[in-house]
Amino acid sequence: MRLESKTALVTGAGSGIGQAVSSHLRREGAKLLLTSRREQLDSAEPEDVYLPGDLNEEEFVTDLASQAAETFGSIDVVVINHGLQASGPLTDMACDDAKDVLHSNLLSAFLVMKHFAPLMPAAGASIVCIGSRLGTVGMSGQVLYSAAKGGLIMLAKGAAIEWAPRNIRVNVLAPGLTVTPVIESSIQRRPDPEAYRRERESQIPLQRLATPAEVADAVLFLASSESSYITGAVLPVDGGYTAF
């Protein structure tokens, strides 16, 4: 029960990594405030508080923070897990699509930090941003996504320094390709799904994709007091992909 008597916000809690993170934090004793775009969240437990909405809208983020203050008084852990994947050649991307990627992966994270940091206790708190391996390395066809996740890393590093005197730790988790429902669906749409899976796995030193539970294990570490002297860090959970 590493998070007993703690409170936590998890964004993007609808499926995949967000659902696994919620399960891990709940198992360790945290009381949860969950959010996603889904009107209903089947994976939520009766004791969880769920508020659906769009984190790109500052009005919704302020409502979410008000709900946290009203329900819990303070928030010990914030897991910023939401985002928007985008792929395709840079020259083919419409400006509005590029703005959506930057808003969903970077500016909305800024809004969550802005409105939830004031609710975090001076006794010690943790913000964990779910970034990506592509925030630290480039990849053809993923230029805007990489730019947004790279910006998220620098947002977290700056916030870690700014809020260190308040004992708020801010770190980034950088997962590699993870078998979430979205990724699995993308693989299955390929002409030869298994060949494509083998190709992607061959690019990873550990020769396999991550599971959401493995990513959630690392989130739990950064959320708990076990990482009490870690802030401003980027922790890869990518099977060695960025070790090259």
Active-site choice (145, 196, 229, 241): 145
Write a three-state SS string for the chain: CCCCCCEEEEECCCCHHHHHHHHHHHHCCCEEEEECCCCCCCCCCCCCEECCCCCCCHHHHHHHHHHHHHHCCCCCEEEECCCCCCCCCHHHCCHHHHHHHHHHHHHHHHHHHHHHHHHCCCCCEEEEEECCHHHCCCCCCCHHHHHHHHHHHHHHHHHHHHHHHHCEEEEEEEECCECCHHHHHHHHCCCCHHHHHHHHHHCCCCCCCECHHHHHHHHHHHHCHHHCCCCCCEEEECCCHHHC
- Is residue 50 annotated as part of the catalytic site, yes or no? no
Catalytic amino acids?
145
